[in-house]
Amino acid sequence: MKIYPYKRLNRPVTLRVTSVSLRLADGTRDQLETTAYSTQQQAVALGIAGHADWVSATIGLSATLPPGVNAPDAAWSDLCVLAVLTDGETNIRTSAELTRDAPDGRDWSGSVEVLRDDHLGRASLAVHAVGTVDGVRGRSIAETDRSWIVDTISDEPVRGLQLDVQTTSFKRSSREWLQAYADAPWILDASARVPTVFVNTDVEGAIGLLDSNGSGVESKVRDLLVTQMATDVWTAVFHGAIGDLEVEPGGGPVFPTDWQGEVLREMLPDVIPGVHVEEALRQVHRRRTGDSGWVELQTRIHYAAVRRADASKALAHVIRSLAQMNRESET
């Protein structure tokens, strides 16, 4: 939780996406259907139309400011509402000013332009209300508490962890670094733009097992294998995200704006329960960079990964299925 030396609104700004359109290379526009964005997921998928030649996207926005923003005795003046698109990977930040829908109203609307050449994958979209407070211009009055995700590649508007799964021979791979892991069934590359799981085709029967669609023992083993893989992935991406944090001049960690930020926001409530995610991030960062507490935290990190992978549910399902199969074989 941040502390501000001036009065602010205590509640967040509500942000909604109202439309999405693409400008194509030939100058025409394609108005995308509402399936291109999800209010529940708070995500936009610009790859949903299947265009390979889009140049820019226009995202229509509507923002509602908290009650009290227009109070006669408000501590701020010169109110301005900005939509800010941030891409941590390309270090691009784009802002657009929204317009008040009605005099003295709390609803503001407008659009933000997404230039395809400025982004490689995912960007973060937030809204900030700023004004003049105590004679200082540009002070933050309120903002969204959770940014939208704008994915320039995906064809599905989801904000969760997106993985690229590839099958390859580790022994003969053109990626020489994989050869050192020739006896591993899978390896995660968390340094890629999108976390990539490489499944080793040299492990006899592994690919066939993962691709099996039967209902017998094989499928039960496959379910446990996938759960174990998911647990490994969540653990690895958490460590990758927490180990690559930017730090403010005062020493505090900054939430990443790409998939790493999503991983941290997803897992931190289980790693450091009972506190706001920003405070949880500070506590984890202090333990990792300090003299003590990091080793003890590994149990919580593993627990968070197990929960994300639904390991308990998968194990219970396998046990029930095997028990049923045993009963059927005895009759």
User: Both tokens of residue 138?
Assistant: 């540009």
Cα 158 to the center of its chain, rounded Å: 9
Cross-strand pairs, 30: 22
pLDDT along the chain (331 residues), means of 10: 77 94 94 92 89 93 94 93 89 94 93 93 91 92 90 82 81 92 89 80 79 66 81 90 85 79 87 88 92 90 89 79 76 68
Distance CA(173)–CA(216), nearest Å, equals 33
3-state percent breakdown (helix, strand, coil) of the chain, nearest 5: 30, 30, 40
Cα 166 to the center of its chain, rounded Å: 21
Place of tokens 């229509």: 60
With 0-12 CB in 10 A as exposed, 13-18 as middle and 19+ as buried, what is 47?
middle
Q: What's the pLDDT score for residue 14? A: 94
Strands of 107-115's sheet in order across = 29-31, 14-24, 54-64, 107-115, 99-100
Q: What's the pLDDT score for residue 25? A: 92
Buried/exposed code over 206-234 (b: 16+ C-beta within 10 A; e: otherwise): beebbeeeeeeeeebebbebebebbbbbb
User: Both tokens of residue 288?
Assistant: 């990792």
Q: What's the pLDDT score for residue 197? A: 86
Distance CA(13)–CA(142), nearest Å, equals 6
Which is it for strands 196-200 and 164-168: parallel, antiparallel or unpaired? parallel
Residues 6+ apart with CB under 8 A from 88: 124, 256, 257, 258, 261
The structure's pTM equals 0.61
Q: What's the pLDDT score for residue 132? A: 95
